[in-house]
Chain A
Amino acid sequence: MTQIAVIDYGMGNLHSVSKALEAVSQKESIVITSDQEVIKTSDKLVFPGVGAIKDCMEAFSNDLKETVLEEVKKKPTLAICVGMQMLLESSEENGGVEGLGLLNGKVCKIQSNKDIKVPHMGWNQVNYLKEHFLLKNIKDSSYFYFVHSYCCPSSKDALTETIHGEKFVSSFAKDNIFAVQFHPEKSQSAGLQLYKNFLDWSV
């Protein structure tokens, strides 16, 4: 049986993510885990993250970080929100934090003004730059739910983009890594379809 590990390093919306995966899974087993052995024996990984990036990086112990970095390089991986930001090169949040550098790009603060509210909170359109298996059966420019104050303005690994004042990268794809700024587990049918595609995805 295919096993999906939702990585628990103490900083994620794990309940929502695993409930959404369960809602679309037919035969896969979904485990929330911080156990390195379980992560190593799982077939696919989900890497969530919520809150401040510095807290997320700090919550991530060195041992676990090493295992996750190794495994993320070879298994189909879905990174979400701050989990996505952690895979990039760096973030200017919390006075500057170094990322894991698996994806190209840097994270910057979203500029607010009277019309552009920060956090960027709510439903916004995800516009395709390329095709990808994880976008299968989801219409271009569908709405997904976002909650974030920092974003990546551009990346060589960009798959989709979204506009909130300025354009930013709303998802990334590189080899076996798929990473999203939005929360598919909060994005109703479009989000559930994305999770289903992730379960069906083989790299």
Chain B
Amino acid sequence: MSVAKRIIPCLDVDKGRVVKGVNFLNIRDAGDPVEIAKRYDTEGADEITMLDITASHETRDTTYKTVESIASQVFIPLTVGGGVRKIEDIKKLLRSGADKVSINTSAVENPGFVQEAADKFGSQCIVVAVDAKAKTDKDNTWEVVTYGGRNRTGIDVLEWTEQVTEYGAGEILLTSMDRDGTKEGFDNNLVSKVSSGISIPVIASGGVGNLDHLIDGVKIGGAEAVLAASIFHFSEFSIKEAKEAMKASGITVRF
């Protein structure tokens, strides 16, 4: 027996409401984050990730309140990301009840921030979110993109994930921006290359459209955890169905 593969529903939250867009466009309202988090907890989610997609200063207090409210009612791990730029942001999120904090753009702009955060709070609560886009000029290479995919950095994803592992990241949340919102499945080639190159857990994200995609992320991609948003929000599938499908394919899951 070993550690169970995790299913992580993701709440993209904008001004206190759960939304889900296709390639970050066409945003649809999916409801109240606290209610949705409670439903996922009851259905057997292993963790919850909440991404504050607006993350502007005006909405920051709403985010802390939402985190506090989820954390006092849902007793599974909660990761919060979006707009985390300073040590103070991390401190506030952890105090509000987040268990882990996900750092994205600010890690790329200042890699020392990952190290500082891991030293201060411990690797276990520092997730580095990596948004990856395939390079057009060379097969099987990906570059890191920031600002929700709008900015190409030229940084190689495999080198980057090795680097942040050294800096003390505890986990990588790896999103394929080519697949995100497409429902075509994870970019398992990407997931497997990243996962086999580092010693810390990789969460596969971006592109889940059905339950087989979750299975493939673990079996083909080698992910420790799979993250999905829209298939769960609009109740196309429940977390329980997802777990049953994974179990039937021979994957160790928690019931």
- Taking beta carbons and an 8 Å cutoff, which residues of A are in contact with B? 13, 15-16, 19-20, 23, 50-52, 112-114, 117-125, 141, 143, 145-149, 163-164, 183, 185-188, 191-192
**Least Cβ–Cβ distance between A6 and chain B, in angstroms:** 14
Instruction: Tell me if A146 and B99 are in contact (CB < 8 A).
Output: no
With an 8 A cutoff between CB atoms, is B33 at the interface? no
**Which residues of chain A are near B1, meaning CB under 8 Å?**
124-125, 141, 163
Min distance, Cβ B177 to any Cβ of chain A, angstroms = 24
User: Contact residues of B with A, CB < 8 Å?
Assistant: 1-6, 41, 46, 71-72, 75-77, 94-97, 99, 119, 121-125, 170-171, 196, 199-201, 224-225, 254-255
B124 touching A148, Cβ below 8 Å: yes
* Contact A191 B122, beta carbon cutoff 8 Å: no
Would B171 and A145 count as touching, CB distance under 8 A? no
In contact, B76 and A19 (Cβ under 8 angstroms)? no
A164 B2 Cβ-Cβ under 8 A: yes
Closest chain-A Cβ to B2's Cβ sits at a distance in Å of 6
Q: Report the bound CA distance from A86 to B36 in whole Å.
A: 37
- From A118, A185, A188, give the contact of B199 (CB < 8 A): A118
Question: When chains A and B are docked, how far (Å) is the Cα of A186 from the Cα of B94?
Answer: 14
Query: Which residue of the partner chain, among B6, B41, B224, contacts A188 with CB atoms under 8 Å?
Result: B41
- With a cutoff of 8 Å between Cβ atoms, the chain B residues found around residue A117 in the complex are 3, 199-201, 224
Pairs A–B under 8 Å by Cβ, sample size 29: A15-B97, A16-B75, A16-B99, A19-B72, A23-B75, A50-B121, A52-B119, A112-B199, A117-B200, A119-B170, A119-B201, A120-B3, A121-B170, A121-B201, A122-B5, A122-B46, A122-B224, A123-B3, A124-B2, A141-B1, A143-B254, A143-B255, A145-B76, A147-B77, A148-B124, A183-B77, A187-B75, A188-B75, A192-B75
Given contacts A117-B199, A122-B3, A123-B254, contact A51 B75 (CB under 8 A): no
Nearest residue (CB) in B for A195 is B75
Contacts of B99 in A (CB 8 A): 13, 16, 147, 186
In the complex, residue of chain B having the shortest beta-carbon distance to the beta carbon of A114: B196
Report chain B residues within 8 Å CB of A120.
3
Contact flag A123-B46 (CB < 8 Å), given A15-B97, A19-B97, A117-B200: yes
Residues of A within 8 Å of B75, CB to CB, are 16, 19-20, 23, 185-188, 191-192
- Residues of chain B lying within 8 A (CB to CB) of residue A187: 75-76
The complex places the Cα of A178 from the Cα of B227 at a distance, in Å, of 34
Give the chain B neighbours of A20 by CB distance below 8 A: 75
Q: Are B124 and A50 in contact (CB under 8 A)?
A: yes
Complex contact B76–A15 (CB within 8 A): no
- Whether B95 pairs with A15 at a CB distance below 8 angstroms is yes
9 closest A-B pairs by beta carbon, nearest first, are A51-B122, A143-B254, A147-B124, A112-B199, A123-B254, A123-B4, A124-B3, A122-B3, A19-B72
- The reply to whether B71 and A19 contact each other, CB–CB distance below 8 Å, is yes
A151 to chain B, nearest CB (A): 13
Question: How many Å lie between the Cα of A19 and that of B225 in the bound state?
Answer: 26
Q: Determine the chain A residues whose CB is within 8 A of the CB of B121 once the complex forms.
A: 50-51
Chain A residue at minimal CB-CB distance from B255: A143
Give A121 to B255 CA distance when docked, in angstroms.
17
Min CB distance, A83 to chain B, in Å?
13
Residues of A within 8 A of B72 (CB): 19
Measured CB to CB, the nearest residue on chain A to B46 is: A123
Q: For A19, list chain B residues within 8 Å (CB).
A: 71-72, 75, 97
Whether A122 lies near B125 (C-beta < 8 A) is no
A26 to B136 CA separation, bound complex (whole angstroms): 61
